[in-house]
Amino acid sequence: MRILGIESSCDETAAAVVEDGRRVLSSVIASQVEEHKLYGGVVPEIASRRHSEAIVGVTRQALDEAGISLSGIDAIAVTYAPGLIGALLVGVNFAKGLALSSGLPLVPVHHLRSHIAANYITNPELEPPFLCLVVSGGHTHIIQVEDYTKLRILGCTRDDAAGEAFDKAARAMGMPYPGGVHLDKVAQDGNPEAFRFPRPSVDGAPLDFSFSGLKTSVINLIHNASQKGQTLPVPDLAASFRKAVVGCLVHNFTEAARQTGSKKLVIAGGVSANSLLRSELERVCAENGWKFYRPALNLCGDNAAMVGAQGYYEYLAGSRAGMDLNACAEMPVDQG
Ligand code: KG4
Ligand code: ZN
Protein backbone atom coordinates (compact mmCIF):
# COMPACT_ATOMS: atom_id res chain seq x y z
CA MET A 1 0.00 0.00 0.00
CA ARG A 2 1.39 3.39 -1.03
CA ILE A 3 0.77 6.51 1.01
CA LEU A 4 1.48 10.08 -0.01
CA GLY A 5 2.59 11.93 3.13
CA ILE A 6 2.36 15.71 3.46
CA GLU A 7 4.00 17.79 6.21
CA SER A 8 3.85 21.55 6.87
CA SER A 9 3.69 21.91 10.66
CA CYS A 10 6.63 24.28 11.08
CA ASP A 11 9.27 25.48 8.63
CA GLU A 12 9.72 22.54 6.23
CA THR A 13 7.34 21.86 3.38
CA ALA A 14 7.61 18.14 2.71
CA ALA A 15 6.00 15.37 0.67
CA ALA A 16 6.92 11.69 0.41
CA VAL A 17 5.69 8.39 -0.95
CA VAL A 18 6.00 5.46 1.47
CA GLU A 19 5.13 1.82 0.83
CA ASP A 20 3.58 -0.29 3.61
CA GLY A 21 4.73 2.13 6.28
CA ARG A 22 8.37 1.14 5.99
CA ARG A 23 9.82 1.67 2.52
CA VAL A 24 10.48 5.23 1.32
CA LEU A 25 9.97 5.58 -2.45
CA SER A 26 10.62 9.33 -2.38
CA SER A 27 11.04 12.09 0.18
CA VAL A 28 11.26 15.77 -0.72
CA ILE A 29 11.85 18.59 1.77
CA ALA A 30 11.83 22.32 1.00
CA SER A 31 13.39 23.99 4.03
CA GLN A 32 12.71 27.61 4.91
CA VAL A 33 15.41 27.73 7.55
CA GLU A 34 17.67 30.19 5.71
CA GLU A 35 14.90 32.79 5.65
CA HIS A 36 13.86 32.34 9.30
CA LYS A 37 17.54 32.52 10.33
CA LEU A 38 17.43 36.26 9.53
CA TYR A 39 14.94 36.70 12.38
CA GLY A 40 16.50 34.28 14.88
CA GLY A 41 13.44 31.98 14.84
CA VAL A 42 10.44 30.87 12.81
CA VAL A 43 8.17 33.76 11.74
CA PRO A 44 4.74 32.08 11.46
CA GLU A 45 3.36 34.39 8.77
CA ILE A 46 6.39 33.84 6.54
CA ALA A 47 6.20 30.08 7.15
CA SER A 48 2.58 29.91 5.95
CA ARG A 49 3.32 31.89 2.81
CA ARG A 50 6.34 29.78 1.90
CA HIS A 51 4.34 26.56 2.43
CA SER A 52 1.65 27.88 0.05
CA GLU A 53 4.28 28.63 -2.58
CA ALA A 54 6.16 25.34 -2.23
CA ILE A 55 3.55 22.66 -1.58
CA VAL A 56 2.42 21.95 -5.14
CA GLY A 57 5.98 21.68 -6.50
CA VAL A 58 7.20 19.58 -3.57
CA THR A 59 4.30 17.12 -3.94
CA ARG A 60 4.76 16.87 -7.69
CA GLN A 61 8.46 16.17 -7.18
CA ALA A 62 7.73 13.47 -4.59
CA LEU A 63 5.41 11.68 -7.05
CA ASP A 64 7.93 12.09 -9.90
CA GLU A 65 10.81 10.73 -7.83
CA ALA A 66 8.69 7.75 -6.77
CA GLY A 67 7.97 7.21 -10.48
CA ILE A 68 4.19 7.18 -10.03
CA SER A 69 1.20 9.41 -10.54
CA LEU A 70 -1.63 10.03 -8.09
CA SER A 71 -3.40 6.97 -9.50
CA GLY A 72 -0.62 4.82 -7.98
CA ILE A 73 -1.34 6.19 -4.50
CA ASP A 74 -3.76 4.45 -2.09
CA ALA A 75 -4.23 7.17 0.55
CA ILE A 76 -3.12 10.68 1.46
CA ALA A 77 -1.75 11.26 4.98
CA VAL A 78 -1.32 14.77 6.32
CA THR A 79 0.03 16.33 9.51
CA TYR A 80 -2.93 18.12 11.11
CA ALA A 81 -1.61 18.76 14.67
CA PRO A 82 0.23 20.07 16.63
CA GLY A 83 2.22 22.95 15.14
CA LEU A 84 1.92 26.49 13.83
CA ILE A 85 -1.72 26.83 12.95
CA GLY A 86 -1.28 28.83 9.73
CA ALA A 87 1.45 26.47 8.57
CA LEU A 88 -0.59 23.34 9.33
CA LEU A 89 -3.62 24.77 7.52
CA VAL A 90 -1.69 24.95 4.24
CA GLY A 91 -0.89 21.22 4.29
CA VAL A 92 -4.34 20.24 5.55
CA ASN A 93 -6.21 22.24 2.94
CA PHE A 94 -3.93 21.11 0.14
CA ALA A 95 -4.38 17.46 1.19
CA LYS A 96 -8.16 17.92 1.40
CA GLY A 97 -8.24 19.35 -2.13
CA LEU A 98 -6.11 16.50 -3.42
CA ALA A 99 -8.29 13.89 -1.67
CA LEU A 100 -11.49 15.47 -2.95
CA SER A 101 -10.31 15.67 -6.55
CA SER A 102 -8.73 12.19 -6.60
CA GLY A 103 -11.28 10.37 -4.45
CA LEU A 104 -8.46 8.99 -2.28
CA PRO A 105 -8.97 8.46 1.46
CA LEU A 106 -7.54 11.16 3.72
CA VAL A 107 -5.72 10.16 6.91
CA PRO A 108 -4.93 12.70 9.65
CA VAL A 109 -1.54 12.25 11.35
CA HIS A 110 -0.31 13.65 14.67
CA HIS A 111 3.13 15.24 14.29
CA LEU A 112 4.74 13.51 17.29
CA ARG A 113 3.35 10.12 16.26
CA SER A 114 5.01 10.65 12.88
CA HIS A 115 8.34 11.48 14.56
CA ILE A 116 8.09 8.14 16.37
CA ALA A 117 7.27 6.42 13.06
CA ALA A 118 10.56 7.64 11.54
CA ASN A 119 11.96 4.71 13.53
CA TYR A 120 9.85 2.18 11.60
CA ILE A 121 11.64 3.29 8.44
CA THR A 122 15.15 3.12 9.91
CA ASN A 123 14.57 -0.03 11.97
CA PRO A 124 12.45 -2.49 9.92
CA GLU A 125 12.33 -4.98 12.81
CA LEU A 126 10.96 -2.45 15.33
CA GLU A 127 7.40 -3.07 16.48
CA PRO A 128 5.43 -1.81 19.50
CA PRO A 129 5.30 -2.11 22.44
CA PHE A 130 8.27 0.10 23.31
CA LEU A 131 9.20 3.15 25.35
CA CYS A 132 9.89 6.34 23.41
CA LEU A 133 11.58 9.61 24.29
CA VAL A 134 10.24 12.26 21.90
CA VAL A 135 12.45 15.34 21.93
CA SER A 136 11.73 18.12 19.47
CA GLY A 137 11.73 21.90 19.26
CA GLY A 138 8.28 22.09 20.82
CA HIS A 139 7.86 18.88 22.84
CA THR A 140 9.64 16.63 25.33
CA HIS A 141 7.68 13.51 26.18
CA ILE A 142 8.29 10.02 27.52
CA ILE A 143 5.68 7.87 25.82
CA GLN A 144 4.66 4.25 26.23
CA VAL A 145 3.90 3.15 22.67
CA GLU A 146 1.54 0.25 23.34
CA ASP A 147 0.56 -0.15 19.73
CA TYR A 148 1.08 1.85 16.52
CA THR A 149 -1.91 4.06 17.34
CA LYS A 150 -2.25 3.51 21.09
CA LEU A 151 0.05 5.69 23.14
CA ARG A 152 0.30 6.70 26.79
CA ILE A 153 2.18 9.76 28.07
CA LEU A 154 4.32 8.89 31.12
CA GLY A 155 6.19 12.18 31.45
CA CYS A 156 6.57 15.54 29.76
CA THR A 157 8.19 18.92 30.19
CA ARG A 158 6.58 21.41 32.54
CA ASP A 159 8.03 24.40 30.65
CA ASP A 160 10.54 24.57 27.76
CA ALA A 161 11.09 21.69 25.37
CA ALA A 162 14.63 20.28 25.14
CA GLY A 163 15.06 21.63 21.59
CA GLU A 164 13.86 25.05 22.63
CA ALA A 165 16.38 25.06 25.51
CA PHE A 166 19.17 24.07 23.10
CA ASP A 167 18.14 26.79 20.63
CA LYS A 168 17.90 29.55 23.23
CA ALA A 169 21.20 28.62 24.87
CA ALA A 170 22.85 28.45 21.44
CA ARG A 171 21.49 31.87 20.57
CA ALA A 172 22.98 33.33 23.78
CA MET A 173 26.30 31.75 22.70
CA GLY A 174 26.07 33.63 19.37
CA MET A 175 25.07 30.69 17.15
CA PRO A 176 22.57 31.00 14.27
CA TYR A 177 19.01 29.58 14.37
CA PRO A 178 18.27 26.71 14.84
CA GLY A 179 21.15 26.48 17.27
CA GLY A 180 20.78 22.91 18.58
CA VAL A 181 22.83 21.34 15.82
CA HIS A 182 25.57 24.02 16.05
CA LEU A 183 25.76 23.70 19.83
CA ASP A 184 26.13 19.93 19.45
CA LYS A 185 29.01 20.39 17.00
CA VAL A 186 30.84 23.07 19.01
CA ALA A 187 30.44 21.00 22.20
CA GLN A 188 32.66 18.24 20.71
CA ASP A 189 35.70 20.49 21.29
CA GLY A 190 34.72 21.65 24.78
CA ASN A 191 35.19 20.45 28.35
CA PRO A 192 31.85 19.24 29.74
CA GLU A 193 33.15 19.69 33.31
CA ALA A 194 34.08 23.37 32.84
CA PHE A 195 30.75 24.76 34.12
CA ARG A 196 28.28 23.31 36.59
CA PHE A 197 24.66 23.69 35.54
CA PRO A 198 21.64 22.61 37.57
CA ARG A 199 19.93 19.28 36.79
CA PRO A 200 16.34 20.28 37.51
CA SER A 201 13.80 17.66 38.47
CA VAL A 202 10.09 18.03 39.19
CA ASP A 203 9.03 17.28 42.77
CA GLY A 204 6.70 14.29 42.95
CA ALA A 205 6.87 13.67 39.17
CA PRO A 206 10.17 11.86 38.49
CA LEU A 207 9.41 11.36 34.78
CA ASP A 208 8.64 15.03 34.08
CA PHE A 209 11.21 17.56 32.88
CA SER A 210 11.91 21.24 33.47
CA PHE A 211 14.43 23.01 31.28
CA SER A 212 13.65 26.68 31.75
CA GLY A 213 15.84 27.08 34.88
CA LEU A 214 18.75 25.40 33.13
CA LYS A 215 18.30 27.64 30.09
CA THR A 216 18.10 30.79 32.25
CA SER A 217 21.18 29.74 34.16
CA VAL A 218 23.37 29.57 31.03
CA ILE A 219 21.93 32.83 29.65
CA ASN A 220 22.57 34.63 32.98
CA LEU A 221 26.11 33.29 33.12
CA ILE A 222 26.85 34.67 29.63
CA HIS A 223 25.18 38.04 30.31
CA ASN A 224 26.93 38.51 33.66
CA ALA A 225 30.29 37.78 32.07
CA SER A 226 29.68 40.19 29.20
CA GLN A 227 28.68 42.94 31.64
CA LYS A 228 32.10 42.53 33.23
CA GLY A 229 33.72 42.66 29.79
CA GLN A 230 34.60 38.95 29.92
CA THR A 231 33.96 36.33 27.26
CA LEU A 232 33.45 32.74 28.24
CA PRO A 233 34.87 29.82 26.23
CA VAL A 234 31.93 28.81 23.98
CA PRO A 235 33.00 25.17 23.41
CA ASP A 236 33.18 24.63 27.21
CA LEU A 237 29.80 26.33 27.73
CA ALA A 238 28.25 24.25 24.95
CA ALA A 239 29.73 20.99 26.23
CA SER A 240 28.66 21.67 29.83
CA PHE A 241 25.13 22.72 28.83
CA ARG A 242 24.71 19.73 26.50
CA LYS A 243 25.86 17.40 29.26
CA ALA A 244 23.26 18.85 31.66
CA VAL A 245 20.33 18.60 29.20
CA VAL A 246 21.27 15.11 28.05
CA GLY A 247 21.81 14.10 31.69
CA CYS A 248 18.20 15.04 32.53
CA LEU A 249 16.82 13.28 29.44
CA VAL A 250 18.77 10.06 30.02
CA HIS A 251 18.04 10.03 33.77
CA ASN A 252 14.25 10.24 33.40
CA PHE A 253 14.12 7.95 30.38
CA THR A 254 16.04 5.19 32.15
CA GLU A 255 13.87 5.71 35.25
CA ALA A 256 10.80 5.19 33.03
CA ALA A 257 12.34 2.01 31.63
CA ARG A 258 12.91 0.69 35.15
CA GLN A 259 9.39 1.62 36.29
CA THR A 260 7.71 0.02 33.28
CA GLY A 261 10.10 -2.88 32.80
CA SER A 262 10.50 -1.88 29.12
CA LYS A 263 13.45 -3.42 27.37
CA LYS A 264 13.06 -1.57 24.06
CA LEU A 265 14.02 2.12 24.14
CA VAL A 266 13.45 4.41 21.17
CA ILE A 267 14.20 8.11 20.58
CA ALA A 268 12.51 10.46 18.12
CA GLY A 269 12.27 14.13 17.10
CA GLY A 270 14.81 16.78 16.06
CA VAL A 271 16.87 16.50 19.26
CA SER A 272 17.27 12.73 18.73
CA ALA A 273 20.02 13.80 16.29
CA ASN A 274 22.08 14.99 19.26
CA SER A 275 25.35 13.04 19.26
CA LEU A 276 25.74 12.88 23.06
CA LEU A 277 22.14 11.77 23.59
CA ARG A 278 22.64 8.98 21.04
CA SER A 279 25.96 7.80 22.50
CA GLU A 280 24.83 8.03 26.13
CA LEU A 281 21.65 6.03 25.48
CA GLU A 282 23.63 3.52 23.45
CA ARG A 283 25.91 3.03 26.46
CA VAL A 284 23.13 2.89 29.08
CA CYS A 285 21.05 0.45 27.01
CA ALA A 286 24.06 -1.81 26.43
CA GLU A 287 24.81 -1.80 30.19
CA ASN A 288 21.23 -2.79 31.03
CA GLY A 289 20.71 -5.27 28.20
CA TRP A 290 18.02 -3.07 26.63
CA LYS A 291 17.58 -2.66 22.86
CA PHE A 292 18.12 0.88 21.62
CA TYR A 293 16.59 2.27 18.42
CA ARG A 294 17.01 5.72 16.86
CA PRO A 295 16.04 7.23 13.51
CA ALA A 296 18.62 7.80 10.76
CA LEU A 297 19.94 11.37 11.03
CA ASN A 298 18.05 12.49 7.92
CA LEU A 299 14.76 11.33 9.51
CA CYS A 300 15.19 13.03 12.91
CA GLY A 301 14.00 16.47 11.77
CA ASP A 302 10.68 17.26 10.11
CA ASN A 303 10.01 15.28 6.92
CA ALA A 304 7.05 13.67 5.18
CA ALA A 305 8.39 10.10 4.98
CA MET A 306 7.55 9.73 8.68
CA VAL A 307 4.02 11.04 7.94
CA GLY A 308 3.63 8.38 5.25
CA ALA A 309 4.90 5.74 7.71
CA GLN A 310 2.54 6.66 10.56
CA GLY A 311 -0.26 7.33 8.05
CA TYR A 312 -0.09 3.66 7.02
CA TYR A 313 -0.69 2.44 10.58
CA GLU A 314 -3.40 5.05 11.19
CA TYR A 315 -5.07 3.88 7.96
CA LEU A 316 -4.92 0.23 9.07
CA ALA A 317 -6.49 1.28 12.39
CA GLY A 318 -9.40 2.78 10.42
CA SER A 319 -8.63 6.47 10.88
CA ARG A 320 -10.14 8.65 8.10
CA ALA A 321 -10.78 12.38 7.82
CA GLY A 322 -13.58 14.09 5.95
CA MET A 323 -13.66 17.47 4.26
CA ASP A 324 -14.30 18.99 7.70
CA LEU A 325 -10.76 18.12 8.87
CA ASN A 326 -9.27 21.10 10.68
CA ALA A 327 -5.74 21.86 11.83
CA CYS A 328 -5.05 22.10 15.58
CA ALA A 329 -2.13 24.00 17.10
CA GLU A 330 -2.22 21.72 20.13
CA MET A 331 -3.32 18.12 20.49
CA PRO A 332 -2.13 15.54 23.06
CA VAL A 333 -0.29 12.67 21.38
CA ASP A 334 -2.46 10.05 23.11
CA GLN A 335 -5.63 11.60 21.66
CA GLY A 336 -4.37 12.33 18.13
O1 KG4 B 1 11.45 17.75 15.45
P2 KG4 B 1 11.98 19.02 14.93
O3 KG4 B 1 12.66 19.04 13.60
O4 KG4 B 1 10.87 20.11 14.88
C5 KG4 B 1 9.83 20.18 15.79
O6 KG4 B 1 8.86 19.39 15.65
O7 KG4 B 1 9.98 20.98 16.75
O8 KG4 B 1 12.99 19.55 16.04
C9 KG4 B 1 13.73 20.70 15.87
C10 KG4 B 1 14.61 20.88 17.09
C11 KG4 B 1 15.27 22.26 17.12
O12 KG4 B 1 15.11 22.80 18.41
C13 KG4 B 1 16.72 21.92 16.83
O14 KG4 B 1 17.65 22.82 17.36
C15 KG4 B 1 16.86 20.57 17.48
O16 KG4 B 1 15.66 19.91 17.12
N17 KG4 B 1 18.05 19.85 17.04
C18 KG4 B 1 19.07 19.49 17.86
C19 KG4 B 1 20.02 18.82 17.07
N20 KG4 B 1 19.56 18.79 15.78
C21 KG4 B 1 18.33 19.40 15.79
N22 KG4 B 1 19.23 19.69 19.18
C23 KG4 B 1 20.37 19.22 19.73
N24 KG4 B 1 21.33 18.58 19.04
C25 KG4 B 1 21.20 18.35 17.72
N26 KG4 B 1 22.16 17.70 17.04
ZN1 ZN C 1 8.91 18.00 14.41
- In DSSP terms, 24 is beta-bridged to 18
Strands (E), the chain: 2-7, 12-19, 23-31, 75-81, 106-110, 130-135, 140-147, 150-156, 264-268, 291-293
275-288 vs 180-187: helix crossing angle, rounded to 10: 70
Average pLDDT of the chain is 97
Side-chain half-sphere exposure of 269, counting CA atoms within 13 A:
24
pTM, entire model: 0.98
Using CA atoms, how far apart are residues 22 and 60, in angstroms rounded to an integer? 21
3-class secondary structure, 109 = strand
301 lines ligand 1 (CB under 6 A): yes
pLDDT confidence band for 309 (50 / 70 / 90): very high
Q: Please say whether the beta carbons of 100 and 222 come within 8 A.
A: no
202 has pLDDT over 90: yes
pLDDT of 271: 98
Give the number of other CB atoms < 10 A from CB of residue 295: 26
pLDDT confidence band for 336 (50 / 70 / 90): confident
Ligand 1 atom nearest the C-alpha of 9 is: 6
Binding residues for Fe cation: 111, 115, 302
Q: How far is CA 32 from CA 35, 36, 73, 210, in A?
A: 6, 7, 27, 29
Atom 1, ligand 1: residue with shortest CA distance: 270
pLDDT confidence band for 243 (50 / 70 / 90): very high
Q: Which residues contact 185 (CB under 8 A, 6 or more apart)?
A: none
Q: Which residues contact 236 (CB under 8 A, 6 or more apart)?
A: 190, 191, 194, 195
112 lines ligand 1 (CB under 6 A): no
pLDDT digits (tens, 9 = 90+) for 106-159: 999 999 999 999 999 999 999 999 999 999 999 999 999 999 999 999 999 999
pLDDT confidence band for 190 (50 / 70 / 90): very high
7 lines ligand 1 (CB under 6 A): no
82 lines ligand 1 (CB under 6 A): no
Using CA atoms, how far apart are residues 95 and 106, in angstroms rounded to an integer? 7
The torsion angles phi and psi of 313, rounded to 5 degrees, stand at: -70, -35
pLDDT of 312: 99
pLDDT of 67: 98
Give the number of other CB atoms < 10 A from CB of residue 100: 12
- In DSSP terms, 322 is beta-bridged to none
Q: Please say whether the beta carbons of 111 and 83 come within 8 A.
A: yes
Atom 13, ligand 1: residue with shortest CA distance: 180
| 277-294 mean pLDDT | 98
Rounded to 5°, angle at Cα 30 from 312 and 165: 85
Q: Which of 32, 181, 278 best tests ligand 1's pocket when mutated (most atoms within 8 Å of CB)? A: 181
pLDDT of 232: 97
